[in-house]
Amino acid sequence: MGIIEKLRLDGKKAFVTGGAGGIGFSIAAALAEAGADVALVDTDIETSSISAGKISAETGRKIISIRADVTKKGDVDAMIEKILGEFGRIDTAFCNAGICKNIPAETMSLEEWNQVITINLTGVFLTAQAAGRVMIKQGGGSIINTASMSAHIVNVPQPQCSYNASKAGVIQLTKSLAVEWALKNVRVNSISPGYIGTDLTLNSPDLKPLIAQWNVMAPLRRLGRPEELQAIAVYLAGDSSAFTTGSDFVIDGAFTCI
């Protein structure tokens, strides 16, 4: 089998949390284009249903939408049951749901801290754990977690200590699960995007004024695009990455090099 064939995902079944839009939608579209059937998981079921219809129409794959809160174990368990009911197995889990709060550390409330940590870190653990249990039983699979370049550097000027800490935790969680499940044929890797020009970022009243400053600092002088994360996700989901586990892939246009 040649490298192009190994990159195909025909017959594979995947789910993407935070799949209604942004990075999640882009990755789901790429997995489907490569041949996978995909479940879009999001709290916004209306938008995710529309997104599922778009991806299905463009790729011809079976795309479903599921409402789930990744911080609630009951929701995650029900999500897994629905995916197995529709697809019969789970080959790829893209654990992507997350939020960011730009609040100075000295004024951040415990509730605000906990919300970020719970969604970004505990939510990844719960979804990866649930997917891992299925993959162990079926003989293998690939889990991909969304971390961030913010796990490697402290972004400025926005104050986001909870986000940075949560994403650093995602990377260490990824490495820990990769080691624990290595002999069970379950691979676990993470992707650390830099600043990505999603609709949310480009239209956020809090973030939009910062884009010009970020671009001045960036070696490529621009934001990344969601589709520029697609290739690494397809690679990690497929058989060509069989020896790749426990790795974090920084896709940031060299931002963390400066």
Active site residues: 148, 163, 167
Cis omega (within 30 of 0) on the bond before 157?
yes
- 38 in Cβ contact with 63 (< 8 Å): yes
CA dist 46 → 53, 66, 201 (Å): 11, 10, 21
At 63, which amino acid appears? Answer: I
| Rounded CA separation 30/25 (Å) | 9
Residue in this structure with the two tokens 């940031």, named with its chain if needed: 252
Which one-letter DSSP state was computed for residue 21? S
Q: Report the b/e string of 55-78 with b at 16+ CB within 10 A.
A: bbeebebebbbbbbbbbeeebbee
Give me Rg for the CA atoms of the chain.
Answer: 17
Q: Give the helix/strand (H/E) hosting 85.
A: helix 73-87
- List the structure tokens of 198: 């999603």
CA dist 214 → 133, 166, 199 (Å): 40, 21, 17
Q: Report the b/e string of 18-49 with b at 16+ CB within 10 A.
A: bbbbbbbbbbbbbbbbbbbbbbbbbbbbebbb
For residue 120, count other CB atoms closer than 10 A to its CB. 25
